[in-house]
Amino acid sequence: HLQGHTPYYENAYRLRQKDGGYRWVEVRAQTVDWDEQGRPVQLVGTVMDVSERKRLDDELRQASERLQRELDERIRLEDRLIQSQKMESIGQLAAGVAHEINNPLAFVGSNLNTLKRYVASLQRMLDAYAALEAAGAKLPMLAAALKAVDSVRQADRIDFKR
């Protein structure tokens, strides 16, 4: 300002008091008179105590920083909650898939004994037919009946021969 680059002078200073504390002041001034060489001769201005404003600004800044930290923590917690919910959903999906796989397997497993009994019964019947065939070669009437049973057995592939 004194060199003519700005229309007025403005700055803030921290002043130490007699009791050791500090006060903040804001100075604003403007040159109103110059000498013949163009140097400033007279300034008019104000000095204002801005300590309370500075204190409030500091408190506001600290509160803002505290709120930002709390917001950051909340965002981190929300992210963890979302991740936890995703994991829970994946777990439920996996449990559902396992249930859908286990149901048919349990059905098959529980019916294997029944199937085993049916196969054993069918095998006994086939063994009885085989014994009858061996005896049927000697009895002509029985041979005709056995031929009819054999044609059904072959048509239905009951003895699992191809």
Tens digit of each residue's pLDDT (9 = 90 or more) over 92-117 = 999 999 989 988 888 888 888 888 88
The beta strands (E) that lie in the chain are given as: 9-16, 22-34, 40-49
Q: How far apart are CA 136 and CA 133, in angstroms?
A: 5
Q: How far apart are CA 119 and CA 114, in angstroms?
A: 9
pLDDT reported for residue 91: 94
Residues in the chain predicted with pLDDT less than 50, given as ranges, are: 162
pLDDT reported for residue 127: 77
pLDDT reported for residue 89: 95
Cβ-contact 25, 15 below 8 angstroms: yes
First and final C-alpha spacing in the chain: 112
Structure tokens at 35: 């000498």
